[in-house]
């Protein structure tokens, strides 16, 4: 049974305009997030993952950022067209976000309990006392011992893992329908990472929210996500069920990514790498953005940009390789040589 859709992003484009030109940081992102589902967005640094999440909440500073095109539908209502006031009521209430760096995402001069209480007072109109009690409850929920004491402490008195739990408590205080987690465990060590992921899954079961999980860690994707979108150069190049992507990656970039993971039980001299570098966002090539680095590229890949095509029942891939045109183009090349 398919759950109902909470968030739908259609053709989202966010560009940055500077005197160097236009950087197409987010260049046509589409995805659908259902209730209780986790969508992973993976990709290397600078591919536009974080910009996508900030664009959804309309937190891109403008200028230099510019929203170019697209729709962000939350329960069918377009966030892009909303006034700031309407949007403010949605932020923290229906969509929340957790940031990468727990050390810098809490205000250093305000006790953490009050920071959590703030969201509750903003959106649920609770009194100071009620909000405080609820925030202590949230701190308990994310598994911090003696929450009454912790709530009164300031961020510098907490460890990184605890601060990230506080961030989660803050984000989830108003039981949002969508949680955007922007590399929430990147700054933490592995044991704490496992705890944080466990807490997030646990709270997801309780609240039933959809999670957009942004990461560059494929292991975390395997652990957390139902769906995965692989991003490359501002676009989603492959959209799959998480369980399929490791066994049978379609896009050459995804194949490269998964191939480059060190294998635990094999004695490897060198890790497999993807040749070349990511094209500059100021100057994307005309054809496929991965063509230059792709072992399968043919004339058509360099000439024309591929679209995200349906492959089988529940996979989408942005690659010519799975089309007849590619077969033709390959055949031509073979004939020529």
Partner 1 sequence: MTVNTSLVNTVDLVLARKKIRREKRRLFFSTLGQNKAAVVGGIIILFYISLTFLAPILAPYDPYAINLQDKLQFPSWTHWMGTDDKGRDILSRILYGSRLSLGVGFSSVFFGAFFGIILGLVAGYYGKWVDTIISRSLDVMLAFPGILLALAIISALGPSLINVTIAVGVFSIPLFARIVRGSTMEIKQLEYIDAIRTLGANDFTIIFRHIFPNILSPIIVQGSLRLATAILSAAGLSFLGLGAQPPSPEWGAMLSSGRDFLFSAPYMAIFPGLMISVLVLGFNLFGDGLRDALDPRMKK
Which residues are near partner 1 by CB under 8 A?
57, 59, 88-93, 95-97, 99, 101, 104-110, 115, 118-119, 122-123, 145-146, 149, 153, 156-157, 167, 170-171
The distance in angstroms from the start CA to the end CA of the chain is 51
Query: Which parts of 69-182 fold into alpha helices (H)?
Result: 84-90, 112-124, 128-141, 147-151, 160-172
- Residue with smaller CB distance to partner 1, 116 or 220: 116
- By beta-carbon proximity to partner 1, the closer residue of 120 and 233 is 120
The tokens for 247 are 């066994």
Locus of tokens 């094999």: 266
**Contact of 257 with 263, CB cutoff 8 Å:** no
CA quadruple 108, 125, 78, 40: dihedral positive or negative? positive
Shortest separation between residue 51's beta carbon and partner 1, angstroms: 13
167/159 Cα distance (integer angstroms)? 12
Q: How far is the CB of 135 from partner 1 (least distance, A)?
A: 12
Q: How far is the CB of 54 from partner 1 (least distance, A)?
A: 8
CB of 192 to partner 1, least distance (A): 16
Written as six digits, the tokens of 296 are 């399968």
- Would you say 12 or 171 has its CB closer to partner 1? 171
Residue 7 or residue 242: which is nearer to partner 1 going by CB?
7
111 with 152: CB under 8 angstroms? yes
**Left if phi > 0, otherwise alpha if psi is -120 to 50, otherwise beta: which for 223?**
alpha
Specify the residue, 19 or 146, whose C-beta has the smaller distance to partner 1. 146
Query: Cβ 7 to partner 1, closest distance in Å?
Result: 15
Least separation in angstroms between CB 183 and partner 1: 12
Question: Which C-beta is closer to partner 1: that of 22 or that of 153?
Answer: 153
Q: Are 134 and 123 in contact (CB under 8 A)?
A: no
């Amino acid at each position: 049974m398919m759950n109902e859709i909470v968030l739908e992003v259609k053709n989202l484009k966010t560009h940055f305009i500077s005197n160097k030109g236009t950087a197409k940081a987010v260049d046509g992102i589409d995805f659908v997030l259902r209730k209780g589902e986790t969508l992973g967005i993976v990709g290397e640094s600078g591919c536009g993952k974080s910009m996508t999440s900030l664009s959804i909440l309309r937190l891109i500073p403008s200028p230099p950022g510019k929203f170019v095109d697209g729709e962000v539908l939350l329960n069918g209502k377009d966030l892009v067209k909303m006034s700031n006031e309407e949007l403010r009521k949605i932020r923290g209430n229906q969509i929340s976000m957790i940031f990468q760096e727990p050390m810098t995402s809490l205000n250093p001069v305000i006790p953490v309990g009050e920071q959590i209480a703030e969201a509750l007072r903003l959106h649920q109109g609770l009194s100071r006392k009620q909000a405080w009690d609820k925030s202590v409850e949230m701190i308990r929920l994310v598994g911090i011992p003696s929450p009454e004491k912790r709530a009164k402490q300031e961020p510098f008195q907490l460890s990184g893992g605890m601060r990230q739990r506080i961030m989660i408590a803050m984000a989830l205080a108003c039981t949002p329908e969508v949680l955007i987690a922007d590399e929430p465990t990147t700054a933490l060590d592995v044991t704490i990472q496992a705890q944080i992921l466990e807490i997030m899954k646990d709270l997801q079961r309780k609240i039933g929210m959809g999670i957009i999980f942004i990461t560059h860690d494929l292991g975390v994707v395997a652990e957390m996500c139902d769906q995965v979108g692989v991003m490359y150069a501002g676009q989603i190049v492959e959209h799959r069920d998480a369980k399929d992507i490791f066994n049978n990656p379609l896009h050459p970039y995804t194949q490269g990514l998964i191939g480059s993971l060190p294998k635990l039980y094999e004695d490897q001299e060198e890790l497999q790498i993807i040749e070349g570098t990511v094209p500059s966002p100021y100057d994307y090539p005309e054809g496929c953005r991965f063509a230059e680095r792709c072992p399968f590229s043919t004339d058509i890949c360099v000439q024309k940009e591929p679209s995200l095509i349906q492959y089988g029942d529940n996979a989408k891939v942005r690659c010519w390789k799975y089309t007849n045109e590619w077969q033709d183009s390959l055949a031509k090349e073979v004939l020529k040589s």
